Structure 1
Amino acid sequence: MGLPHITSFCWCLGLEAGTKLIGYVHLILSFALMVVSALYAESLRALAGTVEDAEDHLYSTWYKISIGVAVFTVVHVLLAATLLYAVFARNTVALRGWVYVMIVLYIVSLIYVIVSMTFGFSASGSHIFLSFLEGVVFFGILAYCILCVNSYYLMLKSAEDMEGPNKNSRSGV
């Protein structure tokens, strides 16, 4: 039992074009987030350890968080580059690797959201509902992207299987 597959990407695009679009959007968003979080960390570095930070260590904590986000986004930049390489080279191993890593990240982030919800919200009901709605949209789009890349992988894999053994080699001669 595996993931279901689709035959085309939205907006009547083929799976290859959709996977390229996913790769480019993934690369642009993760690179932009990497730059923003690195700039934010740099601005907080000047405030960490100062008199304003001495009492509650708020700036030090936010500095550590922004450094962690910057490092995590580097992983996503590498994942997006791997996806683009896999699409252009038609490399099924790299495509499958991207799908597996993204499924693991999807599950880990979903567990994180559920655990953080379990230990309480300190917001109003409408804020909780909007956060829930944003989460459903985000996880839905991410699941669709993983599904599209996996379907493209399945299409490439079936094309490889249909080619059969190398036609140039003669057996028995």
Structure 2
Amino acid sequence: MAADDTHCRDRVDEDSATMGVPHITSFCWCMGLEVGAKCVGIVHLLLSFALMVMCAVYAEEFRSLKGSAEDMDGLYSKWYKISVTIAVVTVVHVLLAFTLLVSVIKRNTCGIRVWVWVMSLLVAAALACVVVLAALYGFSDSGSEIFLSFLEGTIFFAIMGYCILCVNSYYLMLRSAEDMEGPNKSNY
């Protein structure tokens, strides 16, 4: 009996920690959350895979120019390092997207929660990086180009936030369904 009480108290503590998290009930164009989470996973996989391939191609191109006469100022060497770094980082995104797709298909709440937390951390780190770089180096473009960059960044981070919100809502829906099943029953 005491084990059931601690299970209930643990469940209440977990639920109270997630009570303040906003959630939605459907994805864009009246799609369900499961379809929305699959769409987010497929788009994430396609974009990250395409970026990985593109950066690998550019890295190979810059590698061939690295150390040549055209690279006297080290520009191609710098772009080579940047391309390789981005290609390696996109491997993480490919693995995350694959994890999300497999977790949604298998209805695995742990894999979905990992995707939500890691993507939230990556988006927060990207936003912090943008703010720090803007504060350190300032703006060198005209006012309209700065405004367009700000608008593009706002739209990007809003879309990322909505995708994370959709997948988190799907996680909460699956978790609620698991809670409705109740604890395992044993026959005495």
Provide the TM-score with structure 2 as the length reference. 0.88
Contact 1:53/1:59 (CA < 8 Å) preserved in 2?
A: yes
Which position in structure 1 is the counterpart of 2:81?
64
Identity of aligned residues (%): 66
Candidates 36, 39, 42, aligned match of 1:24: 42
Which position in structure 2 is the counterpart of 1:74?
91
What amino acid is the match of 2:61? S
> How far apart are the structure 2 equivalents of 1:121 and 1:88?
45
Which position in structure 2 is the counterpart of 1:40?
58
> How far apart are the structure 1 equivalents of 2:162 and 2:43?
14
The RMSD of aligned alpha carbons is: 0.9
SS in 1 for 2:29: coil
Which position in structure 1 is the counterpart of 2:9?
none
Provide the TM-score with structure 1 as the length reference. 0.95
Measure how far apart 1:3 and its partner are: 2.4
Measure how far apart 1:166 and its partner are: 2.5
More helix by share: 2
1:157 and 2:175 matched? yes
- Superposed CA offset, 1:62-97 (max 9, x none): 000000010011110000000001100111011111
What amino acid is the match of 1:70? A
Unpaired runs of 5+ residues, structure 2, are: 1-16
- Structure 1 segments of 4+ aligned residues over 2 angstroms from their partners: none
Unpaired runs of 5+ residues, structure 1, are: none
> How far apart are the structure 2 equivalents of 1:52 and 1:23?
41
1:89 and 2:106 matched? yes
